[in-house]
Amino acid sequence: MAIDSHYIPAFSIEDVLLDKDTGAPLTGGLVYFEIDDQRGVLKPVYQITGASPDYTYTQLPNPLTLSAIGTFEDSLGNPVIPYFYPYDASGNVELYYLRVTSAEGVEQFTREAVPYVVSAGNNIVTSVLENELTNPQFAEVLFTSPITFTFNAVADEVITIAPGWDVVLTSPGVGSLTLTIITPTGSLNRITNPGTLLNIKSTGLTSLKLRQRLYGSPNLWGSGYLTATFIAKTYGGTSTVLNMYYSQSNGAVVDELLVSATLPGDGNYAAYPGSALIPISNSADFFPNAYIDIYFDIPLTTEIDISSVMVSFTNDVNVDNILYDQTSYDRQVDYTFHYYNPLLQFKPIPSYLVAWDFPLNPAQIFGDSVGTQAIGANKSYYAWDQTIVFQTADNSIAVSRESTSLYMNLTATTTTQAAVIQYLSGTQAQLILNQMALEGVSVMFAGSTTTPKTFTVSLWWSVNPIGTGMTSNDSLVTGLDATGYPTVAAGWTEITKLPLQKATFTTLTNIYQMNGFSNYIEPTAYLTGVSFAIVVGSSSIPAGEKISIASISIVPGKIPTIPAPQTLDQVLKECEFYYEKSYSNSSAAGAVDGQNSLISAQNAAIVTTQVGLYASGFNISFKNSKITTPAVNLFSPSTGVGTAVSGLVYTENVLRNSGDLDLANWTQTAIGSKNVYYVPANSTYLLGAAAVSTTNPQAFINYHYVADARLGLV
């Protein structure tokens, strides 16, 4: 057998007992081992024999006769260390009383109440082991109690009923499962004092398991003892068997019995401890998909209660009478964080970033598909709204959106690296920087790749306005290292995340993956900043491969989450704070497209035989206010020519002539964040038509506009 913690060594490696009168070794002295509360009744002591791990505990003579030098020896004269077994036949603590005499029977000394063992009562050894299971008393559940599930022809149906707990059942026909949380009053003084118990009833099922699945190593607790306990009772006056098992994923170590409990028909709660030696695993599974199942085989068509479930690993010590480690409700809730954490990450809250939930990005600038840009190596351009794309090789990145995923795809036409960048300034920048000073912010990146890539997220701030010192197709990024971490232009400082200054995420092939990190700074830092930027850079992208980005968010607090859901209209309005156009989203500026174009009345006059168009002032009110005074350009809908409008001349409500007119005939004035006004630049005749009739002459201009207030546009 393995080492058994119930046997406790009585003395150190080599103890010498001395005569109380002479101080000489107590040659031939006698040591009596008696029951402490029945003095005079001898209690056995033992010696350990054999070799690891197959030790044996063999009973020694009682009393023991000391050697010539006053040490312990066995009947063959070999030195020995006595082992106490301070328990009775039922497992109750039963301590020793030691009495030492000389060979002639002269009393030397006595010792009472040895060894030191704490009695737990109820035939169970007090546990100092940690419970490896979550939510052991079902303190948190995911249903309103009571609840009844009904089934019809299901096999191995899995229902998550509580953090950490599933039921797995088979119902060949109509069946049901009823779950109830019982909350006993304190005066009942149930064993292990559970605040909550799970009551289970079923009908029509052919199998029912209550399972907790622990992901990680497929050899968890292999080659050692696993000890377990729970409390339970049955109803109906008939005893029933409730078994608890250990099982590994994809291996031969399955259905190892931990506890076999016969619940008596008296309807009383009792504790049922047990243990098993877990063999070495031969599972071929890997982290994180490998798992261990701890499960109950629930008796069918029988009502039972279960609570205070505990499993602990005791290495090579077999502990088969463990006591449940009683914990408060708060501690049980604390240990459910691993369950709630991924759910919290998927619980969206508003992001500081604009339109980086990419299926909702309106892509106003060029539309969904943007070809490669011959702007040079280590250069940047605006591809979609609030989205700057950086490339390390010239003419290397195409941007697109597929009809199925709607993500933003960055496809390399030649080997390159890429980064996506978003600027925020003014109030938005201050919100982020102040939030960092208070509680920090969290960043989430979600996407997939053709083959594994490394992505680095970094945050930056500046006291300068965005665009300071930049030239054509510049951004703050001037290069990327092998992990996608940027070198930046002068004037930008990284917002550090100690002890790391960057967060590196490695995505897996063709797997939608979410990663996040939290960023904290000192309360007084960065509060003078007026500009903010986020940079998400990639490692090398071979020609023909793509990166699909689902979303990137920055949210307040310490838990990264996906962006909160928004409507397309909400996102469009946020983007129009920086850039708006009269074109439909699918049409880029300069397209020959009459849809959504604007029309403004102009002066019309009869000049001899001609009806003439004369310039008149007109106003454009923006759909949404801009972050700053925008650059406004007009386009002819009929030809797509920029800095032109299309003139229209009518008589008798019939179009008599049309053609492009140079925008220089009007002077842009009174431009602001909400509108722009144009006044005539001259009074000359601009467009005419033969005066077939002088009745009701009319003149108009037709145009599209773009109001561009994008940050960092150069």
Q: Are 553 and 562 in contact (CB under 8 A)?
A: yes
Cα-based distances in Å from 418 to 314, 392, 525:
51, 7, 30
What is the percentage of the chain residues whose pLDDT exceeds 90?
55
CA distance 512 to 404: 14
CA-closest candidate to residue 428, choices 350, 508, 348, 344? 350
pLDDT digits (tens, 9 = 90+) for 564-595: 999 999 999 999 999 999 998 888 899 999 99
Residue with tokens 């030191």, as numbered in its chain: 116
CA-closest candidate to residue 119, choices 99, 97, 95? 95
Helix ranges restricted to H, 335-372: 337-345
> Who contacts 313 (Cβ-Cβ below 8 Å, separation ≥6)?
129, 132, 221, 224, 225, 226, 227
Q: Are 714 and 680 in contact (CB under 8 A)?
A: no
Q: In the predicted model, is pLDDT for residue 184 greater than 80?
A: yes
CA distance 345 to 338: 11
Tokens of 67: 């050697």
Residue 426 pLDDT level (bands cut at 50, 70, 90): confident
pLDDT digits (tens, 9 = 90+) for 610-654: 788 999 999 999 999 999 999 999 999 999 999 999 999 998 888
115-124, 156-165, 304-313, 330-339 — which is least confidently predicted? 115-124
| Percent helix / strand / coil, the chain, rounded to 5 | 5, 45, 50
433-447, 526-540, 649-663 — which is least confidently predicted? 433-447
Of 665 and 217, the one with more pLDDT: 665
- Helix or strand or coil: residue 633? strand
DSSP line for 562-597: PBPP--HHHHHHHHHTTEEESS-TTS-TT----TT-
* pLDDT, position 541: 95
Of 184 and 375, the one with more pLDDT: 375
Q: In the predicted model, is pLDDT for residue 125 greater than 70?
A: no
For each of the domains in the chain, give its residue range(s) and CATH number, in order of start.
Answer: 8-114 (2.170.14.10), 147-342 (2.60.120.260), 358-566 (2.60.120.260), 598-708 (no CATH)
Please name the amino acid found at residue 506.
Answer: T
CA-closest candidate to residue 307, choices 210, 159, 214, 194? 194
* pLDDT, position 499: 40
Cα-based distances in Å from 108 to 30, 40, 100, 440:
10, 16, 5, 70
Rama region for 476: left / alpha / beta (φ>0; ψ in -120 to 50; rest): alpha
Q: In the predicted model, is pLDDT for residue 531 greater than 50?
A: yes
Q: In the predicted model, is pLDDT for residue 524 greater than 60?
A: no
Q: Are 37 and 63 in contact (CB under 8 A)?
A: no
Of 119 and 234, the one with more pLDDT: 234
CA distance 182 to 199: 7
Q: In the predicted model, is pLDDT for residue 367 greater than 70?
A: yes
pTM of the model: 0.65
Tokens of 411: 């496809």
CA distance 197 to 366: 61
94-108, 317-331, 468-482, 531-545 — which is least confidently predicted? 317-331
104-113, 295-304, 612-621 — which is least confidently predicted? 104-113
pLDDT digits (tens, 9 = 90+) for 18-28: 888 888 999 99
Of 690 and 111, the one with more pLDDT: 111
What is the percentage of the chain residues whose pLDDT exceeds 70?
92
CA distance 562 to 104: 85
Q: In the predicted model, is pLDDT for residue 440 greater than 90?
A: no
* pLDDT, position 498: 46
- For 549, half-sphere exposure in the C-beta direction (CA atoms, 13 angstrom radius) is 29
CA distance 501 to 9: 54
Question: What is the distance of C-alpha 294 from the center of its chain?
Answer: 24
Burial bucket for residue 13 (CB in 10 Å: 0-12, 13-18, 19+): exposed
CA-closest candidate to residue 323, choices 182, 125, 458? 125
Q: If you count them, how many residues does the chain have?
A: 714
Cα-based distances in Å from 214 to 75, 131, 165, 273, 397:
51, 13, 10, 21, 43
* pLDDT, position 504: 58
Q: Cα Rg for the chain, rounded, in angstroms?
A: 40
* pLDDT, position 691: 64
Residue 325 pLDDT level (bands cut at 50, 70, 90): confident
Q: In the predicted model, is pLDDT for residue 339 greater than 60?
A: yes
Mind spelling out the 3-state secondary structure of 371-382? CCCCCCCCEEEE
77-81, 366-370, 658-662, 669-673 — which is least confidently predicted? 77-81
Q: Is the dihedral of CA 630, 635, 641, 643 positive or negative?
A: negative
- Helix or strand or coil: residue 216? coil
Mean pLDDT of 380-390: 97
Q: In the predicted model, is pLDDT for residue 230 greater than 80?
A: yes
Residue 551 pLDDT level (bands cut at 50, 70, 90): very high
Preceding peptide of 63 cis, ω within 30°: yes
Of 693 and 168, the one with more pLDDT: 168
Residue 518 pLDDT level (bands cut at 50, 70, 90): low
pLDDT digits (tens, 9 = 90+) for 485-515: 999 999 998 887 644 445 555 554 444 445 5
Residue 403 pLDDT level (bands cut at 50, 70, 90): confident
Residue 122 pLDDT level (bands cut at 50, 70, 90): very low
